[in-house]
Structure 1
Amino acid sequence: MAKKVYTFDQLSKTIGEDYAWRRKELKLVNDLVSNNPSPKQNAALRFAIPILYAHWEGFAKKSTEIYLEFVAKKFLKHSELKSQFIALSLSKKLGSLEIKNIEEKTKTIDFLINEFEKKSNILTTNVIQTKSNLRYDIFREIIFIIGLDETKFINYKGLIDDLVDSRNNIAHGEFLKVDFNTYQIIFNEIQELMDLLKTEIENSALLEEFKKSV
């Protein structure tokens, strides 16, 4: 990642800049879609869907990576963090342990206890994976990794999955007639979703929700 994100202001600025250029480009694309039925409208609707998906996937990946880096750069003690951040910090060490019997399990518990008050070293590289098909179950994994509340996003499940299916059909050369009114709904709701994700990340950073509840 080119920019280093250490403070809330840096996080908000970096996410805001990424959000802004995507919103601007999406508006330009949307302006090319005429509301008058015609072959030109059909073509515009078909190319608009993959671009809409690309910006949604891109923003979801970029913004959550920025937040993960923000948390990592705090270098908080494991005892101060939510469990998923502890898991990211200790994943390499835990992966090297062999847990076959009670003796090994006891050593693992001792290891965790000894690590609890040490500073974290949270992994950030290749942690956020959209798998080029950002269905809701994958998005759900991502927001779990960074500790966001899934209930804020569950109502968008159908939208997210439908957008992936439509993008895939068009990208694979299949004919998919896109209804203008349906497209407008998807266009508006995806921007609502991007806005919600941005807000939830910023709120989580500001309120330090990455910390373990006392």
Structure 2
Amino acid sequence: MRTLAELQDALDEDLAWRRSELHSYLSATRRAESDSPTQRTLCRAGVPLLYAHWEGYAKHCLSLYLQYVGRRRLTYGELHPAFVALGHESSLDSQEGLSATRRIVRRAQALLSGDSVRATIPWRRGVDTQSNLNSSRCFDLFESLGLDASPLNTKARLIDYRLLKARNEIAHGQYLDVGVESYEELHLEVLVIMNFVRNTVNAAAENGLYKRPVVS
């Protein structure tokens, strides 16, 4: 993931197969007899699939962006504060046995003297969605990469309840009545938030938002 074109291609390719699969599944629910047990079963089973693609794509996009920035080989002085924090915390994590006090002191030392040092960004492990990508975790991940997730504020309830909570209930064997209209609406909403993640990452990379703003 060394060039912007490679990043954009990877974002688009991953979104394309997910969109194709979700559209195919939606078509299957529409072909089933209206309001039949089969159709309701398909709709209910589709909720975990929608959630899986939401979490999977968000994790993939943010991990690709982290890798892209990490491979810019920039110094701490050139990077957005979010990546400075990521780099220094990763370095501290690799030093075993540090007490809380020593960690604080070493963090301060690194921040005061590290602008000319090439950043060590922990991109190989990607981002951690903790297998439960609620809105709070989503906003934290965006913040950790210097990205603005505020447009998703209006989607918080959708993410937390209609996707995550419903996924958990269905996955744990609870009955949840999901009609085809409700499923179609959720399908469209998931595509919207997936596209938002893609567009946000693409714009950040394209406009160099991972760099520290130049103060005139």
Query: What is the aligned partner in structure 2 of residue 87 from structure 1?
Result: 85
Q: How many residues align?
A: 207
Give distance in 2, aligned partners of 1:54 and 1:111.
Answer: 39
Gaps of 5+ in 2: none
Normalization by structure 2: what TM-score? 0.89
Give distance in 2, aligned partners of 1:185 and 1:80.
Answer: 43
Say if 1:179 and 1:212 are closer, same or farther in 2 by CA, change over 3 A.
same
Matched residues, percent identical?
30
Greater RCO (CA < 8 Å, at least 6 residues apart): 2
Give distance in 2, aligned partners of 1:108 and 1:158.
Answer: 37
Correspondence 1:48 to 2:46 = yes
Give distance in 1, aligned partners of 2:193 and 2:4.
Answer: 21
Query: What is the aligned partner in structure 2 of residue 27 from structure 1?
Result: 23
Give the conservation status (yes or no) of the 8 Å contact 2:90–2:121: no
Give the conservation status (yes or no) of the 8 Å contact 1:61–1:130: yes
Say if 1:119 and 1:28 are closer, same or farther in 2 by CA, change over 3 A.
same
Correspondence 1:136 to 2:132 = no
Normalization by structure 1: what TM-score? 0.90
1:131-168 per-position Cα deviation (integer Å, ceiling 9, x unaligned): 11111111111111221112121111111112001111
Query: What is the aligned partner in structure 2 of residue 124 from structure 1?
Result: 123
Match for 1:198: what amino acid?
R
Gaps of 5+ in 1: none
Moved over 6 A (4+): none
Query: What is the aligned partner in structure 2 of residue 209 from structure 1?
Result: 209
Give distance in 2, aligned partners of 1:202 and 1:74.
Answer: 15
Give distance in 2, aligned partners of 1:100 and 1:148.
Answer: 30
Query: What is the aligned partner in structure 2 of residue 68 from structure 1?
Result: 66
How far apart are 1:100 and its partner, in Å?
3.5
Give distance in 2, aligned partners of 1:110 and 1:133.
Answer: 35
Give the conservation status (yes or no) of the 8 Å contact 2:67–2:126: no
Which of 9, 13, 20 does residue 9 from structure 2 map onto?
13
1:154-190 per-position Cα deviation (integer Å, ceiling 9, x unaligned): 1111111120011111111111111322221111011
Say if 1:184 and 1:108 are closer, same or farther in 2 by CA, change over 3 A.
closer
Which of 15, 37, 50 does residue 39 from structure 1 map onto?
37
1:56-98 per-position Cα deviation (integer Å, ceiling 9, x unaligned): 1110111110010000000111011111211221224334455
Q: SS at 1:126's partner residue?
A: coil
Say if 1:110 and 1:168 are closer, same or farther in 2 by CA, change over 3 A.
closer
Q: SS at 1:128's partner residue?
A: coil
Match for 1:23: what amino acid?
R
Write out aligned runs for 1:188-203 (5 A).
188-203=188-203
**RMSD of aligned alpha carbons:** 1.8
Give distance in 2, aligned partners of 1:92 and 1:108.
Answer: 11
